[in-house]
Amino acid sequence: MIVALAVLTLIDAVLIWHIYVAAAMLGIVQSLNMPARMTMVSDLVEQRSILDVVALQNAAVHAGRMVGPPVTGVIIEIWSLSASLFVIARCYAVSIICVAKIGRTAQAVKATNGSVFRNFADGISYIKNNPVVLTAIVITCSFGGFGMSHQQVIPAMAKEALGVGAAGVGLLFLASGIGSFLGNFLLPIIGTTKVYRSLLINLVLFAIFLSVFSWSSWFWVPWVLFLLVGLIGLGSVWPLATSLIQLESPAEMKGRVMGILQFTPGFHFLGAYPLALAAEQFGWGVAMTATAVATLVVTIWFGVIRGSAPAVNIQINKGNSAELIRLRPTVKRKETFQYWKVYFGLSLF
Residues 168-178 pLDDT 10s: 888 888 898 88
Residues 6 or more apart whose Cβ sits within 8 Å of residue 331 = 49, 52, 339
Say if residue 97's pLDDT is above 70. Answer: yes
For the cut 70, the answer to whether the pLDDT of residue 341 exceeds it is no
pLDDT for the residue numbered 318? 45
- pLDDT value for 324: 36
Q: Which residues contact 276 (CB under 8 A, 6 or more apart)?
A: 153, 156, 287
Which pLDDT score, from 0 to 100, does residue 213 have? 95
Secondary structure letter of residue 234 according to DSSP: I
Better-predicted residue by pLDDT, 322 or 346: 346
Q: What are the residue boundaries of the structural domains of the chain, listed by start? A: 2-106+130-347
Least confident of 93-107, 130-144, 220-234, 287-301: 93-107
Task: Given CATH 1.20.1250.20, say whether it is the number of domain 2-106+130-347.
Answer: yes
292 — pLDDT class (breaks 50, 70, 90): very high
Alpha helices in the chain (DSSP H): 2-10, 16-44, 50-78, 81-100, 116-129, 131-145, 154-157, 166-186, 195-215, 220-232, 238-248, 251-261, 263-282, 284-300, 333-347
Q: Answer whether residue 201 shows pLDDT above 90.
A: yes
Residue 321 has pLDDT above 70, yes or no: no
- 109, pLDDT greater than 70: no
Average pLDDT over residues 58-75: 78
Confidence band, pLDDT 50/70/90 cuts, at residue 68: confident
Q: How confident is the model at residue 280 (pLDDT cuts 50, 70, 90)?
A: very high
Q: How far is CA 258 from the centre of its chain?
A: 12
Rounded-to-integer distance, Cα 257 and Cα 160, Å: 40
Residues 41-65 have pLDDT tens digits of: 767 777 677 777 777 777 877 777 7
The residue ranking higher by pLDDT, 306 or 343, is 306
- DSSP code, position 50: H
Written in H, E and C, the secondary structure of 289-333 is HHHHHHHHHHHHHHHHHCCCCCCCCCCCCHHHCCCCCCCCCCCCH
Determine how many CB atoms are found less than 10 A away from the CB of residue 113.
7
* Residue 221: C-alpha distances to residues 154, 175, 179, 225, 237 (Å): 15, 11, 15, 6, 23
Task: Identify the residue with better confidence: 71 or 299.
Answer: 299
Residues 6+ apart with CB under 8 A from 280: none
User: At residue 86, does pLDDT exceed 90?
Assistant: yes
- Percent share of the chain, pLDDT over 90: 25
pLDDT of residue 325: 33
Q: What pLDDT, on the 0 to 100 scale, is given for residue 332?
A: 44
CB atoms near residue 40 (< 10 Å):
21
Mean pLDDT for 67-89 is 85
